[in-house]
Structure 1
Amino acid sequence: MITGATAGIGEACAHVFAKNNYDLILTGRREGRLMSLTNELKETYKINVLPMVFDVRELSEVKNAIDSLDEKWKAIDILVNNAGLSVGLEPIQEGSFDDWNRMIDTNVKGLLHITRLVSPLMIARKSGHIINLGSIAGKETYANGNVYCATKHAVDSLNKAMRIDLLPHNIRVSAINPGAVETEFSLVRFKGDDERAKNVYKGFEPLTAADIADTIYYVASLPPHVNINDLTIMPTAQANTVYWNKN
């Protein structure tokens, strides 16, 4: 099960898991994109794909989606908590309440909604792996990143808590924390300002969605007795949120 599968890292994860013969539950808000991806994966990889259109922020929608799964689809081996976003880049005194709520509701509450409803299905089978998409922003804090950084610090903490709470049930839990990845991330952050979004990645080679998807698949494909608790992956040109090698 991959949340936020209609673009970026989520879409790349769908391809890499499909290529390795996994059946997929794909979730997203954009029905057109979700159905297009579903059809592409079915045709290319000859796997089963269940598309589910809902917003992870809305608990009732998440509940309805999970409750609608039949027994086959409830046997979720891997959950990739990918849905997330950043909106705005202003100092705290100028921040938008709407932007803040959107980030908190998606990055933190959305992850909790999905995890709370899927983890019991894994516990019942004493098997499963939850992979949470964090960020270098969950390890450090940078200027004007305030609330986005706070949400990713929350993901970092929740990942550790899940690892402890699910340990008795044989459930693996991992966090993947990327640095700069060129996806829709900056376009969403800057609310459709394409030029400003492109400038973020000028002068260096960022990570790609496929880089992160390959890393997630590697973590998921390790033997059952091996768990990657926490993995930070950066472009070679980025040491942290402050030090870059840009031309």
Structure 2
Amino acid sequence: MFTNPWFVGICTGIVSGIIVFLISNKISRKDYYKKVKQANEEIVALLIITISEGKIPSLKIIKSVLSSLSRKYGVKPQNMNNAKETLEDMIKEVFATNFIPMDKKIELSEQLAKLIKEEVDYQTRQEIADTGGNLRNSELTLPLSIILLSFPLLSISGVVKIWSDRFDFGTNYFVLVSLITMITLSIVVTLLTLLSKKKQNENLQKDLLSKISNPELPSMKKGDK
């Protein structure tokens, strides 16, 4: 086999192709995340100019710039820093800037922190809306599943009843009873799974609502360093 030039040539081509693919894929991924890093750095550099002049960009502007830079560098928006992470980087850059007085740095950082809280609250409300949608879907799916899963059980029960009136089952009767038992267990497991999923969605929605009702805000106390 290994002395056959055709076989050796095909195997060599396949192995070489795989090696080239893996190397090129690794290089392209490295270049891609390099672009992501450049995009993240550029948005902070662009926005810090407005902050240095005492102007705080709105969340709408920040998200628009993020979207523009994702197109410029050809990267996916979800791979870049989101608005919250961008604001956190901006706070870091404010304190790293030498030409802004300390009291002004604190003032600007507090304004940026308010935007962070606004963005977190917005994302939490979105999660609550999504969870509520999933909960409504579960409420619709549960009765429908009960109806659909009842049909096979009722059908087989009817067949067993008809056959039991005409024939002496013997071993086959045990097989049919076992089949009905397995179907019943499947229905029970499915219903329990749906109920568990519904309960999880309800608990998640309660947790998200509690986050909005009782936000954990960082506070500065005297004596903290």
Bin of the TM-score, shorter chain as denominator length: under 0.3
From the CA coordinates, give the structure whose radius of gyration is larger: 2
Normalising by structure 1, we get a TM-score of: 0.25
Structure with greater strand share of residues: 1
Larger helix proportion of the pair: 2
